[in-house]
């Protein structure tokens, strides 16, 4: 893996999935000796907001919320 001329590197998909790094996840870097560590940034909003943002607009069924709720209650 190489660092681009812009200083970018791609985090492998399996690592992103394991760590829950979604698009727009804030991260922090820490240096210890000759090693660099990456972790999710501390946030008060939690992962739920990121998950909802990721799923927004992905629905394939044209149902209103009340119709979906009625189906789950049957």
Q: Does 69 reside within a domain?
A: yes
Q: Does 3 reside within a domain?
A: no
Q: Does 6 reside within a domain?
A: no
Question: What CA–CA distance (Å, rounded) separates 45 from 41?
Answer: 11
Which pLDDT score is estimated for 10? 94
Domain coverage including residue 62: 13-73
12-56 per-position pLDDT tens digit: 999 999 998 888 888 999 999 999 999 988 865 666 777 788 888
Which pLDDT score is estimated for 33? 95
Q: What is the DSSP letter of 14?
A: H
The number of domains in the chain is 1
Q: Does 2 reside within a domain?
A: no
Question: What CA–CA distance (Å, rounded) separates 20 from 50?
Answer: 10
Which pLDDT score is estimated for 44? 53
Interacting residues of 53 by C-beta distance below 8 A, sequence separation 6+: 22, 24
pLDDT for residue 9 is more than 70? yes
Instruction: Determine how many CB atoms are found less than 10 A away from the CB of residue 22.
Output: 14
**pTM of the predicted model as reported, rounded to 2 decimal places:** 0.51
């Amino acid at each position: 893996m190489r660092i681009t001329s812009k200083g970018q590197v791609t985090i492998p998909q399996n690592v992103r999935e394991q760590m829950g790094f979604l698009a727009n996840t804030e991260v922090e870097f820490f240096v210890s000796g000759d090693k660099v560590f990456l972790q999710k940034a501390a946030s008060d909003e939690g992962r739920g907001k990121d998950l909802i943002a990721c799923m927004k607009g992905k629905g394939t069924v044209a149902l209103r919320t009340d119709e979906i709720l009625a189906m789950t209650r049957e």
